[in-house]
Every structure is written in structure tokens, then in C-alpha cells.
Amino acid sequence: MEISTLAMYHCLAFVWYFFIAYSITHVETEEPPSELFLYGGQWKYLTVLNLVLQAVFYGVSFLADVLRLIKKLRCAKCIISSRDLLFSVLAFPVSTFVSISFWTLYTYNRELVYPKSLDGVIPLWLNHAMHTAVFPFALLEILALPHRYPAKKKGLILLGFVAFLYISWVLWIYSVTGEWVYPLFALFSPSGLAAFFAGSLAIVVSCYNFGEFLNRMIWGQSKFS
């Protein structure tokens, strides 16, 4: 794909995710928010954090494209390295995990992750923008251009560290409010919850490996932008 076309695509994707993140953080409801909602706002939900992550990634990607267009190759090289690390370790695995885990649990019992009461608050299109469209966007990014993946050990350590931070955030919120971010967690015993977190981490790692596999199969080992 031509650099100018990539720049246009990345700019539009950035605007899209910025708009979605803005929309979900400004959803209005007639009912007074609970203590859980007040503590940390919507920044406790992985879906919302992923929207911000995607906006940051596409913003960095657009910046890299612009630098390449104006021939600032030395600066572009540094930004491209950051772009590839962000995509491989976080943007692709997290967006894939969000889409797969949400719709799996939604199909099983939507009340565990997305109560029916939310249908009157969050429009259907916004729900799909947050939980469905993120995966095709991630796949399109792999098809659009190659990304350099870090050494497997480094990539997984970084991914595991971010996962640890989010789990710590969820547990901290529970310790303060006495309520779980997701109703699903209330069904587990402490050991069961630990097993659930471990299983979720395994799925995220699988998403990372899947992205690396697709990138290698489409672009090979040596071709990088």
C-alpha cells in the first residue's frame, strides 16, 4: 500500500477510534451512577481502555506515515519501531481478546458482561463499534503493512506486565467498592478467579501468537516497512 494511502487510512482510523472513545465516555443515563461506576469511571473497563489504546496506536501510525512522506526518515524510524511494538504487544492481542471474550460470554449469558439494561443506554451501533469492529480493524492493519515483532520473550513479558497491571486495577477497585467490575467475577471463588485470570492470560498470549503468525505468513521474515 502506498504511504499516502496508509496515511489516509491511519488518519481515518484514528478519528474513528477517538470518536468512539469520546462517545462511550459521554453516554448519559437517567439513573444515578453506583459507587462502582463513580470509582474510576469507565476507565475500569477493558473495552474502553482498548478504544484509547487503538486511538493511540493509529495516531502513532499516522505520525510515522507523515514523517515518511516528508522524508524525515531518521525520526520515522524511531516512530515506526514504537508503532510496531505497540501493535504487536498490545493493539492486536487486546482488540482480538476483547472481541472474542465479549461475544463468547455474551452468547453464553449476556448478563455476566453486558446486562440487557444497557441496551437502553448504549446504542447497538456503539456496542458493535466497541466489541465487533475492533477485530476486523486489527486484521486489516496486518494486511495493510508488515510489522516487526520483538523477540518472543520480550513481547510476552511486556504483554504479561500490562495484563498484571489491569488485573491489579480490577482487584483494587473491588477492595475499595466491594463490587466487581464485571458481574461474572462474583461467581468465582478466589481460586476459581485466579484460574479464570490465568485462562484469560493464556487466551491473550494465543492472540499475540496468532498475530505474529499472520504477520509472518503474509509478509515473511524479511520485508518490513
User: Tens digits of per-residue pLDDT, 37-77?
Assistant: 567 778 899 999 999 999 999 999 999 999 988 877 788 88
Distance, in Å, from the CA atom of 21 to the CA atom of 48, rounded to the nearest integer, reads 7
Judge residue 50's burial from the number of C-beta atoms within 10 Å of its C-beta, 0-12 exposed, 13-18 middle, 19 or more buried. buried
Supply the pLDDT for residue 98: 97
Residue 32 lies in a domain: no
Q: If pLDDT is split at 50, 70 and 90, which confidence band does 222 have?
A: very low
Q: What is the 3-state secondary structure (H, E, C) of the chain?
A: CCHHHHHHHHHHHHHHHHHHHHHHHCCCCCCCCCHHHHCCHHHHCHHHHHHHHHHHHHHHHHHHHHHHHCCCHHHHHHHHHHHHHHHHHHHHHHHHHHHHHHHHHHHHHHHHCCCHHHHHCCCHHHHHHHHCCHHHHHHHHHHHCCCCCCCHHHHHHHHHHHHHHHHHHHHHHHHHHCCCCCHHHHHCCHHHHHHHHHHHHHHHHHHHHHHHHHHHHHHCCCCCC
* pLDDT surpasses 50 at 223: no
Residue 93 lies in a domain: yes
* pLDDT surpasses 80 at 35: no
Supply the pLDDT for residue 183: 86
Supply the pLDDT for residue 221: 67
Look at the chain and report how many structural domains it folds into.
1
pLDDT tens digit sequence for 123-170: 999 999 999 999 999 999 999 999 999 999 999 999 999 999 999 999
Residue 123 lies in a domain: yes
Q: If pLDDT is split at 50, 70 and 90, which confidence band does 2 have?
A: confident
pTM of the model: 0.91
Supply the pLDDT for residue 138: 96
Q: How far is CA 143 from CA 4, 87, 164, in A?
A: 16, 13, 30
* pLDDT surpasses 70 at 33: no
Q: What is the mean pLDDT of the chain?
A: 90
Residue 171 lies in a domain: yes
Residue 60 lies in a domain: yes
> Which domain does 152 fall in, by range?
3-25+38-219
Supply the pLDDT for residue 30: 57
Distance, in Å, from the CA atom of 171 to the CA atom of 193, rounded to the nearest integer, reads 11
* pLDDT surpasses 50 at 225: no
Residue 129 lies in a domain: yes
Supply the pLDDT for residue 5: 92
Residue 224 lies in a domain: no
pLDDT tens digit sequence for 161-217: 999 999 999 999 999 988 898 889 999 999 999 999 999 999 999 999 999 999 999
Residue 164 lies in a domain: yes
Distance, in Å, from the CA atom of 137 to the CA atom of 148, rounded to the nearest integer, reads 18
